[in-house]
Amino acid sequence: MFTIEHEFDATVITLVDEGESPLREDVNVSAFAAEITLEQWDPRTDRISKITLSPEQLRDLTAALNLPEGIYKSTT
C-alpha cells in the first residue's frame, strides 16, 4: 500500500509494508525539484535513516530495476 500527497514544494509518497512478518517501517519518499529523499525509521538506532538522490540517480535506479545484470551508462 502507498499514499501520495502533493505539498507546496514536494510530492510525498509513503510506502507501507504489507508483506509477511517481520514487517519493515514505512518509507517516506519526498520528490523536490533538485533532489529526492527517502526516509525510514530505524528502531535499532531510534533514528530516521535518510538517503538523498539526484533526479538523475532516481532515473538510473528506475531503469536498473528493469534491466538484467550488467554495467550501464545513461545516454541522457
Neighbouring-strand partners of residue 20: none
Over the chain, what is the mean pLDDT?
Answer: 91
**Confidence band, pLDDT 50/70/90 cuts, at residue 6:** very high
pLDDT of residue 19: 85
pTM of the prediction?
A: 0.82
Question: Could you state, in order of their start, the residue ranges of all structural domains in the chain?
Answer: 2-64
Of 50, 46, 55, 26, the residue nearest 38 (C-alpha):
50
Give the tens place of pLDDT for each residue, 12-32.
Answer: 999 999 988 889 999 999 999
Residue range 60-74: average pLDDT? 84
DSSP codes joined into one string, 29-70: EEE-SS-EEEEEEETTTTEEEEEEE-HHHHHHHHHHTTS-SS
